[in-house]
């Protein structure tokens, strides 16, 4: 158990160090997210109650596509540089390898959201920096990261790896995105009743996390 | 039978009927191999003979379609992580992160294996492969030969019982070919079991106690190096593999 924890921390630390020096993944995600929000702001001319209805959808569209860009590189980068085999040679439980990559992805996504959310609040004048929106963002991001990490591993072995990830990820993230948009919308408008979107997000996160943890070995070993 | 992983184990690598198929094509076909502890085997063969696939299967990177593999008594199907813990691999790719320094790469891989006294071991290995003065430079700034030396150190960082070397001389100059020889022969470090693939007959005879020829996925020839000279090996290779090395 101690070794597994040490292995997980080593991989997360390594991923952060590599990203700090390469600066390709975070820059890509941040640039995309910022540009998307600016384009939505300039092109859609949203105001009043319309912003409250459409805003959460725009926010999650931005987060989802930016996340897809970044997470697509998680295993592709390891595969293309030949370091994936080095990881697979190590006596590390494949589930622990999945958790390592998931944690690294979550850190990158939270950094991206730390810029995106305040900018969204500023441009669209919506109170997204409150605990209820943060909870919806946390759970939605976790779901995206789980599926993104899993499918990034599956796509890495494919020749059409760049195109395959969106094809795999978009249909499966539908419940996560719907849940996150609705939970964010409720949190912004202060609606307390209605369907339990947070509960739905938690349920899907648990299901996807369990399945991915168990199936990751088959995904990563091709 | 000795307990797996203990000093009582005398067979380091035991391969039985290993087959690897890609569609209808067999990259490896019913390969049997048995190596005692500290034994050194050179595997020769023309391009496409299956040498790299054999190393990948032995390294547990590729699952065989059939057959069994045991390393230091551990079955690769039942205890893959015990097998991985006991093998070190140098392949065509270095498995090194370009953005990290040589030292950072070795520390990272050492942590994955839970090595005690890692800092001291990494320092020793960096000196051993003659990269110590440039240990803080990013891998991307090192020449291919230097990267290959770091890859050798990476393969040794967890002190494996078995070394799998797939054409490990890539990019090495003469001085560091001598270093490679001293590593393989157990002069620079304690002796261990080595399986090495090469196209160089002289190097195979010089470094290893046994040589084998792989052709079209089959192990078609095995002999002790002491019983061979270059001409005899070349003749056997040409006859069985159907190509000049």
CB contact at 8 A, A84 and A75: yes
Report yes or no on B75 lying in a domain: yes
Say whether B95 and A89 touch across the interface (CB within 8 A). Answer: yes
Please answer whether residues B133 and B150 qualify as being in contact, where contact means their C-beta atoms are separated by less than 8 angstroms: no
A21 vs B: CB within 8 A:
yes
Contacts 24+ apart (CB under 8 A), B171-175: B171/B143, B171/B144, B171/B145, B171/B147, B172/B145, B172/B148, B173/B145
Q: B231: which 2 tokens?
A: 């001409």
Instruction: Give the model's confidence band at A194: pLDDT under 50 very low, under 70 low, under 90 confident, else very high.
Output: low
Q: Is residue B64 part of a domain?
A: yes
Task: Compute how many other C-beta atoms are within 10 angstroms of the C-beta atom of residue A48.
Answer: 8
Which one of B89, B91, B97 has the shortest CB-CB distance to A18?
B97
Substitution target in B79, B114, B144, B163 with the highest count of A β-carbons within 10 Å is: B114
- In angstroms and rounded to an integer, the radius of gyration of the C-alpha atoms of chain A is 18
The list of chain B residues with pLDDT below 50 reads 244
Res B138: pLDDT: 96
Query: Considering the domain boundaries, does residue B22 fall inside one?
Result: yes
| B chain contacts of residue A87, beta-carbon cutoff 8 Å | 112
Exposure of B112 in the CB half-sphere (CA atoms within 13 A): 28
- Interchain pair B94, A82: CB under 8 A: yes
Which residue in chain A has the smallest CA separation from B154? Answer: A86
Confirm whether B171 is domain-assigned.
no
The size of chain B, in residues, is 245
Look up tokens 């859609």; give the residue. A44
Q: Which of A3, A11, A85 sits opposite B61 (nearest CB)?
A: A85
Choose, out of B53, B65, B111, the residue to mutate when testing the contact with A (most A CBs < 10 Å).
B111
In a domain, B4, yes or no: yes
Per-residue H/E/C for chain B: CCCCCCCCCCEEEEEEEEEEEECCEEEEEEEEEEEECCCEEEEECCCCCCHHHHHHHHCCCCCCCEEEEEECCEECCCCHHHHHHCEEEECCCCCCCCCCEHHHHHHHHHHHCCCCCHHHHHHHHHHHCCCHHHCCCEHHHCCHHHHHHHHHHHHHCCCCCEEEEECCCCCCCHHHHHHHHHHHCCCCCCCCEEEEECCCHHHHHHHCCEEEEEECCEEEEEEEHHHCCHHHHHHHHHHHHCCCC
| Pairing of the two strands B162-166 and B193-197 | parallel
The domain total for chain B is 1
d(CA B115, CA B118): 6
Q: Which two tokens stand for residue B73?
A: 């008594």
Searching chain B, which residue's CA lies closest to the CA of residue A220? B61
- Segment A46-67, tens digit of pLDDT: 777 788 888 999 999 999 999 9
Question: Which value does ipTM take for this structure?
Answer: 0.90
Please enumerate in sequence order all residues whose Cβ is within 8 A of that of B232, keeping only pairs 6 or more positions apart, or say none: none
Rounded Cα gap, residues B148 and B120, in angstroms: 21
pLDDT score, position B75: 95
What tokens does B167 get?
A: 């054409």
Percentage of residues in chain A having pLDDT higher than 90: 63
Tell me the average pLDDT across A119-147. 91
Helix axes A49-71, A94-124, angle to 10 degrees: 150
pLDDT greater than 90 at residue A118: yes
Helices A131-156 and A161-172 sit at what angle, rounded to 10 degrees? 140
> From residue B76, how far is each of B82, B163, B176, B237 by CA, in Å?
8, 16, 33, 31
Q: What is the pLDDT of residues A143-184, one digit of tens each?
A: 999 999 999 998 888 877 778 888 888 999 999 999 999 999
| Distance from C-alpha of A75 to C-alpha of A83, rounded to nearest angstrom | 9
What CATH code is carried by the domain that includes residue B211?
A: 3.40.50.300
- Phi/psi of residue B218, nearest 5 degrees: -115, 140
CA distance A75 to B140: 20
Q: What average pLDDT does this structure show over A83-109?
A: 95
Q: In this structure, is residue B2 part of a structural domain?
A: yes
C-alpha B125/C-alpha A200 separation (Å) is 52
Residue B225 domain boundaries: 1-38+45-85+195-245
Length of chain A: 222
Does any domain span residue B3?
yes
Q: Residue B219 in contact with residue B213, Cβ under 8 Å?
A: yes
Question: How large a percentage of chain A has pLDDT more than 70?
Answer: 98
Judged by DSSP in three states, A116 sits in helix
Task: Output the six-digit token pair for A186.
Answer: 């409720």
Ordered strands of the B74-75 beta sheet: B25-36, B11-22, B66-71, B74-75
Instruction: Please check whether residue A131 touches B, CB under 8 A.
Output: no
Q: Can you give the pLDDT at residue A164?
A: 85
pLDDT digits (tens, 9 = 90+) for B174-218: 888 888 898 888 888 888 899 999 988 888 898 899 999 999 999
């Amino acid at each position: 158990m101690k070794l597994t924890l040490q292995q997980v921390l080593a991989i997360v630390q390594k991923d952060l160090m590599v990203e700090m020096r390469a600066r390709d993944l975070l820059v890509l995600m941040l640039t995309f997210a910022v540009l998307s929000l600016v384009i939505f702001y300039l092109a859609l001319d949203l105001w009043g109650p319309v912003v409250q209805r459409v805003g959460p959808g725009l926010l999650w569209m931005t987060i989802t596509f930016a996340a897809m860009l970044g997470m697509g590189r998680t295993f592709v980068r390891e595969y293309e540089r030949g370091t994936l085999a080095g990881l697979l040679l190590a006596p590390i439980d494949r589930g622990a390898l999945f958790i390592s990559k998931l944690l690294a992805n979550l850190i990158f996504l939270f950094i991206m959201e730390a810029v995106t959310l305040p900018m969204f609040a500023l441009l669209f004048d919506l109170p997204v920096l409150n605990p209820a929106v943060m909870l919806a963002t946390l759970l939605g991001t976790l779901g995206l990261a789980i599926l993104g990490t899993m499918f990034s591993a599956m796509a890495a072995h494919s020749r059409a790896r760049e195109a395959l990830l969106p094809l795999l990820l978009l249909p499966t993230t539908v419940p996560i995105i719907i849940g996150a948009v609705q939970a964010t919308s409720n949190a912004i408008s202060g609606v307390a009743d209605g369907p339990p979107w947070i509960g739905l997000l938690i349920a899907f996160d648990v299901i996807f996390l369990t399945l991915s943890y168990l199936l990751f070995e088959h995904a990563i070993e091709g | 039978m000795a307990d797996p992983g203990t000093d009582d184990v005398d067979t380091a690598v035991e391969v039985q009927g290993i087959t690897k198929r890609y569609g209808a094509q067999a990259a490896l076909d019913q390969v049997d191999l048995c190596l005692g502890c500290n034994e050194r085997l050179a595997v020769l063969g023309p391009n496409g003979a299956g040498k790299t696939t054999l190393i990948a299967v032995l390294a547990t990177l590729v699952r065989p379609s059939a057959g069994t593999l045991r390393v230091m008594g551990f079955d690769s199907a039942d205890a893959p992580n015990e097998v991985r813990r006991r093998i070190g691999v140098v392949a065509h790719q270095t498995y090194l992160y370009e953005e990290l320094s040589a030292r950072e790469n070795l520390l990272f891989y050492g942590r994955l294996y839970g090595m005690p006294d890692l800092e001291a071991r990494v320092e020793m290995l960096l000196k051993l492969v003659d990269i110590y003065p440039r240990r803080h430079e990013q891998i991307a700034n090192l020449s291919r030969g230097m990267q290959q030396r770091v890859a050798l150190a990476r393969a040794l960082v967890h002190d494996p019982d078995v070394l799998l070397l797939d054409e490990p001389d890539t990019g090495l100059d003469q001085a560091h070919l001598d270093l490679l020889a001293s590593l393989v022969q157990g002069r620079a470090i304690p002796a261990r079991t080595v399986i090495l693939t090469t196209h160089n007959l002289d190097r195979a005879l010089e470094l290893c106690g046994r040589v084998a020829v792989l052709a079209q996925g089959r192990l078609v020839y095995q002999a002790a190096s002491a019983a061979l000279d270059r001409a005899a090996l070349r003749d056997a290779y040409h006859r069985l593999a159907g190509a000049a090395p």
